[in-house]
Amino acid sequence: MRIRVEEAIRKLGYSPDPAASALASKVTYNIGLLLPSLTNTVFEDVLEGIYQGSEDTRFFIQIGDTRYSALKEEALIGTFLRQKPAGLIVTGFEQTEKARGMLAGAHCPVVQIMDFGEPPIDMSVGFDHEAAGYAAARHLIECGYRTPGAVGARLDSRSRRRLDGFRKACQEVGLWDEHRMVITPQSSSVGLGRHLLEELLSRDQSVDAVFCNNDDLGIGALMEARRRLISVPEQLGICSFHDMEMTQHMYPALTAIATPRFQIGKMAIDMLLAEIEEPHSVKRRNIDTGFKLVVRDSTRRAG
Amino acid sequence: MRIRVEEAIRKLGYSPDPAASALASKVTYNIGLLLPSLTNTVFEDVLEGIYQGSEDTRFFIQIGDTRYSALKEEALIGTFLRQKPAGLIVTGFEQTEKARGMLAGAHCPVVQIMDFGEPPIDMSVGFDHEAAGYAAARHLIECGYRTPGAVGARLDSRSRRRLDGFRKACQEVGLWDEHRMVITPQSSSVGLGRHLLEELLSRDQSVDAVFCNNDDLGIGALMEARRRLISVPEQLGICSFHDMEMTQHMYPALTAIATPRFQIGKMAIDMLLAEIEEPHSVKRRNIDTGFKLVVRDSTRRAG
DNA sequence: TTGACGAATGATTGCGCAATCATTTATCAC
DNA sequence: GTGATAAATGATTGCGCAATCATTCGTCAA
């Protein structure tokens, strides 16, 4: 009987209507993914992990681009929930009150990614951004740099906390001056990195090290240093953030805080699928992935 | 009456069920977008254009990642069509026979992007890759380079045609040797760009210019040249492809064939929305956006 | 053979909306 | 005021499936 039916399916080229299925069963095989940006290389790797973890399952990843706007995010959460997703992955902890309410009341598991600290709405996987910024500062200080600065763009809460951590570590050893923190709401780019280093140097010519809030800025800073014939790492140490593939191939290679973006994506989808399969089966619901300092030539001073 | 209804909607927090709507009307507000890769910066800008063009409309972009596989693409086209999308955007002209059949029979407009040449299934917007490669070669030749090579990765049909065009221009002036074409099926990265230049130089030390099939490779080649103390552009001219933001900030800045990725995305979504709004209203259904040679220091030899 | 039980199969209902048709109400010219 | 037309409103049906219930069939022990 089953065989006969399956033969007919093949012969007629039948395939079920997902809309009818969703209407009748009140659930779909869609997994909603909310990212603040798709044009930010940081999220490419997260995406890669999520795709890899959901390949060959019946689930379909539906991406929403919030453009770093909590309101757009709120609207998208509404749109997604209306479609009765099987699960939801959202970036960070900074949803609007209403969005948090919707997520808390959702009839599906929810994973918050890229951050660690606050208790999650449901589950979370990420790392502590303040600790990461702190680690960057400690590294520069231990390398002997004494006039550290920092540059940052597109200041979402996570970026801000990285800079907070950096500032804190510098203050602890009495090496901080707030003038050496150059930030802008503009979205980050290599060109902006060059510009921000320029601004930093114009504010304080004695700056001997800079923490760049992400790799675009790091590469930009490196190129600007090169243009000005400022030697890296001797005259200027550069520590980048995220460590995308490119940074290790720069010349000199960039020291960076490497963030486990692929792993975060993979763990998030794994947790989500497990929880969809068997509700309440996931035990560790709030995961700190940590980060890693990768020391390369851009901070490796002789002596 | 209308007012009373809308008040009730607000009060009850009612929002229509998209599944029921899709079932009853046989159409949704989803626009399917098939890209070969999301971790390729090339498509970020396309995406940006599409998002910008669909913002504040009732349409929702649904992304599918084909991972450069025609079979995955075929499967995704099936998945998308089952959802009765309002429109579809697919990359390139290399669909499987079956996929082309499905697209041709789709009850919605279809735009093929990133390529120009073949007659489209429905509509298309892109540029001629062979002509772009040809232009790169002509530029290097006109700069006086006499031993041009080329490196390429991830050889989809478009990449291949770029290299074909490059080869053709070199052959026309008797400057070609197939040994100076180094290609690999690996996916492109900066590290790979370094490696491919290494390979190219090991095959023929007299190479004095290289065309890189995309910017990752171009930046990698530049970094490798730097490491080997090969001066750019004097000893080695480098021409990159696509011209993402970063290339102009390299040191020396990279000459590149700039491709109008944002514009392609924007035009594609505009054509699609117009056609959804009013079938057969779009007149120019096969658009050649062209490309632009941007000359910078990496090919600007003194004399 | 009989009864009892579980598995396989068949028949029915409702999900929430859009589309269609049937009805009522408003609008206007004469 | 009348009739004719257009607009607004109301009632009904069906989209294609999943879930539920009702039925039949097969299996086995007594």
Name residue B256's amino acid.
A
B207: CB partners within 8 A, 6+ apart: B147, B148, B149, B180, B200, B201, B236
Q: From the alpha carbon of B5, which nucleotide's C1' atom is closest?
A: D9
pLDDT at residue B125 is higher than 90: yes
In a domain, B296, yes or no: no
Residues A68 and A183 in one domain: no
Residues A141 and A245 in one domain: yes
Residues A233 and A278 in one domain: no
Q: Are B98 and B75 in contact (CB under 8 A)?
A: no
CA/C1' separation B24–D16 (Å) = 10
Phi, psi angles (nearest 5°) of residue A51: -65, -45
B157 touches strand C (CB under 7 A): no
Which of A10, A246, A254 to mutate to test binding with chain B, by most B CBs within 10 Å of its CB?
A246
Least CA distance to B22: which residue of chain A?
A19
Distance between CA atoms of A127 and A118, rounded to whole angstroms?
Answer: 11
Find the mean pLDDT for residues A164-189.
97
Q: What is the pLDDT of residues B73-98, one digit of tens each?
A: 999 999 999 999 999 999 999 999 99
- Under the banding of pLDDT at 50, 70 and 90, the label for residue A28 is very high
Q: From the alpha carbon of A25, which nucleotide's C1' atom is closest?
A: D18
pLDDT at residue B4 is higher than 80: no
In a domain, B112, yes or no: yes
Please give the tally of structural domains in chain B.
Answer: 2
> Which one-letter DSSP state was computed for residue B33?
E
How far is the alpha carbon of A283 from chain B, nearest alpha carbon, in Å? 31
Residues B122 and B143 in one domain: no
- Under the banding of pLDDT at 50, 70 and 90, the label for residue B1 is low
pLDDT for the residue A11 = 83
- Under the banding of pLDDT at 50, 70 and 90, the label for residue A303 is low
How far is the alpha carbon of A16 from chain B, nearest alpha carbon, in Å? 8
Q: Which two tokens stand for residue B264?
A: 């392609």
pLDDT at residue B278 is higher than 70: yes
Q: From the alpha carbon of A22, which nucleotide's C1' atom is closest?
A: D17
Enumerate the nucleotides of strand C whose atoms come under 7 Å of any protein CB: 8-10, 14-19
Residues of B with Cβ-Cβ distance to A84 under 8 angstroms: 19
pLDDT for the residue B303 = 59
Residues of B with Cβ-Cβ distance to A65 under 8 angstroms: 51
pLDDT at residue A7 is higher than 90: no
Distance between CA atoms of A123 and A138, rounded to whole angstroms?
Answer: 31
pLDDT for the residue A299 = 98
Which of A44, A249, A251 to mutate to test binding with chain B, by most B CBs within 10 Å of its CB?
A249
Residues A72 and A215 in one domain: no
Find the mean pLDDT for residues A10-29.
92
Between helices A157-172 and A129-142, what is the axis angle to 10°?
Answer: 40
* CATH code of residue A89: 3.40.50.2300
Put simply, the answer to whether A194 touches B249 (Cβ < 8 Å) is yes
> Which one-letter DSSP state was computed for residue A33?
E
Residues B246 and B134 in one domain: yes
Region class of A282: left (phi > 0), else alpha (psi between -120 and 50), else beta? beta
What sign does the dihedral B195-B197-B203-B205 (CA atoms) show?
negative
pLDDT for the residue A288 = 98
Residues B237 and B282 in one domain: no
Residues of B with Cβ-Cβ distance to A83 under 8 angstroms: 18-19
Q: What is the pLDDT of residues B97-115, one digit of tens each?
A: 999 999 999 999 999 999 9
Distance between CA atoms of A66 and A73, rounded to whole angstroms?
Answer: 5
In a domain, B28, yes or no: yes
Residues B219 and B281 in one domain: no
Nearest Cα to Cα of residue B217 among B179, B257, B177 = B257
pLDDT at residue B46 is higher than 70: yes
Put simply, the answer to whether B82 touches A15 (Cβ < 8 Å) is yes
Mean pLDDT of chain A: 95
Find the mean pLDDT for residues A67-92.
96
Residues A182 and A120 in one domain: no
In a domain, A146, yes or no: yes
Mean pLDDT of chain B: 95
Q: Which residue in B22, B41, B48 is closest to A19 by CB distance?
A: B22
Which of B79, B80, B246 to mutate to test binding with chain A, by most A CBs within 10 Å of its CB?
B246
Compute the half-sphere exposure of residue B255: CA atoms within 13 Å on the CB side of its CA: 23
Q: What is the pLDDT of residues B247-264, one digit of tens each?
A: 999 999 999 999 999 999
pLDDT at residue A219 is higher than 70: yes
What is the DSSP annotation of A128-157?
A: -HHHHHHHHHHHHHHTT--SEEEEEES--H
Residues of A within an 8 Å Cβ radius of B: 15-20, 22-23, 28, 38-39, 41, 44-45, 47-48, 51, 60, 62-63, 65, 78-79, 82-84, 189-191, 193-194, 216, 219-220, 223, 226-227, 245-246, 248-251
- Residue A99, classified by CB atoms within 10 Å of its CB into exposed (0-12), middle (13-18) or buried (19+), is buried
Residues A198 and A282 in one domain: no
H-type alpha helices, B146-288? 157-172, 190-203, 215-227, 261-277
In a domain, A294, yes or no: no
pLDDT at residue B186 is higher than 70: yes
Residues B199 and B254 in one domain: yes
Distance between CA atoms of A15 and B75, rounded to whole angstroms?
Answer: 12
In a domain, B298, yes or no: no
* Structural element, H or E, at residue A239: strand A237-242
In a domain, A297, yes or no: no
pLDDT at residue A4 is higher than 80: no
pLDDT for the residue B7 = 82
A5 touches strand C (CB under 7 A): no
- Under the banding of pLDDT at 50, 70 and 90, the label for residue A40 is confident
Residue A77's alpha-carbon distances to A11, A90, A126, A218, B18, in angstroms, are 40, 9, 20, 33, 14
Task: Determine what percent of chain B is predicted with pLDDT higher than 90.
Answer: 92
Question: How many residues are there in chain A?
Answer: 303
pLDDT for the residue B78 = 96
Residues B231 and B142 in one domain: yes
Full domain range(s) for residue B105: 2-127+261-289
Find the mean pLDDT for residues B2-28.
88
Q: What is the pLDDT of residues A85-142, one digit of tens each?
A: 999 999 999 999 999 999 999 999 999 999 999 999 999 999 999 999 999 999 999 9
How far is the alpha carbon of B207 from chain A, nearest alpha carbon, in Å? 22
In a domain, B297, yes or no: no
